[in-house]
Amino acid sequence: MTVIEINGLQKSYKTHRVLEDVTLKVEKGEIFGILGPNGAGKTTAVECMSGLRKPDGGTLRVLGLDPQTQRAELLQRIGTQLQEAALPDAIKVAEALRLYASFYDEPADWRALMDEWGLTEKRRARFGSLSGGWKQRLFIALALVGNPEVVFLDELTTGLDPAARRMTWGLIRDMRDRGVTVVLVTHFMDEAEALCDRIAIIDRGQVVHEGTPGELISKGHTNSLDDAYFALTERTVS
Ligand SMILES: Nc1ncnc2c1ncn2[C@@H]1O[C@H](COP(=O)(O)OP(=O)(O)OP(=O)(O)O)[C@@H](O)[C@H]1O
Ligand SMILES: [Mg+2]
């Protein structure tokens, strides 16, 4: 079953055309990676998919819904961890989870989630006092509190310590195994190779390569995704 279907997506900021023509499909229950250089338009594409930005052209369906006109329904069924998220400094960890749970008709057990993400010891800590990695863990837990069918994770493991990163990989696989579809934007090639079922490389607002990690590695005539990424994008990296 196709969960995300994007055709010819376009988006400009004023006169700056960021998404030129993004076309891709994400199937139910896969971990779909989006790779590409800084400024390629990855976050913009994810924001369009989660209804946070209005595309200028093309068609976009997530769980069969139009993120613009059916946003309220879509928000009940997706979870988003954004690259530049923020919460009020004074809010406590447990309060944030409880608050987010209240936004959903059928939330997950936020206390269990707090435990699963190792946040219980920080439950009374204020957001403003958390280190970058702890903030990141909280944002991941917040993305999952609505029991989402699709989760958008934008640079999820940036700032996490190695142990938290490995734990996160395990939890992403668990999510996928439970049938959740995961869209993962990452700059870590080891992470993409270890986790993703399929990958799209976006550059200058277009999907320039798409396939399983194995397919991209053969296409680049290399032995690792890291090398393949450079072989496949060297002409397009500015
Ligand atoms: N709100 C905005 N207003 C104007 N320009 C923006 C805005 N958001 C992003 N841009 C521009 O759009 C382009 C794509 O940005 P985007 O954040 O989608 O890239 P990205 O692929 O996520 O990059 P990164 O890997 O650095 O996160 C960049 O040139 C950026 O400066
Ligand atoms: Mg980004």
CA of 233 from ligand 1 middle (Å) equals 19
Maximum distance among all alpha carbons in the chain?
51
Instruction: Ligand 1 pocket test: pick from 43, 82, 184 the residue with the most ligand atoms within 8 Å of its Cβ.
Output: 43
Confidence band (pLDDT; 50, 70, 90) for 237?
very low
Architecture category of domain 31-40+76-233 in CATH: 3-Layer(aba) Sandwich (3.40)
Given a cut of 70, whether residue 77 has pLDDT beyond it is: yes
Q: Which two tokens stand for residue 139?
A: 């944002």
Ligand 2 ion: Cβ-proximal residues, 5 Å cutoff: 42-43, 83
Per-residue model confidence as pLDDT tens digits over 187-207: 999 999 999 999 999 998 999
Given a cut of 70, whether residue 235 has pLDDT beyond it is: no
Nearest ligand, CA 153: 2
Q: Are 145 and 113 in contact (CB under 8 A)?
A: yes
Nearest ligand, CA 45: 1
Which of 203, 163, 194, 189 has its CA nearest to residue 176? 194
How far apart CA 163 and CA 93 sit, in angstroms, is 21
Indicate the pairing of strand 78-81 with strand 150-154.
parallel
Average pLDDT over residues 25-43: 96
- The pair phi, psi for residue 168, each rounded to 5°, is -65, -40
Atom 27 of ligand 1 has which residue's CA nearest to it? 38
Domain ranges within the chain, ordered by starting residue: 31-40+76-233
Whole-angstrom CA distances from 226 to 109, 192, 201 are 38, 9, 12
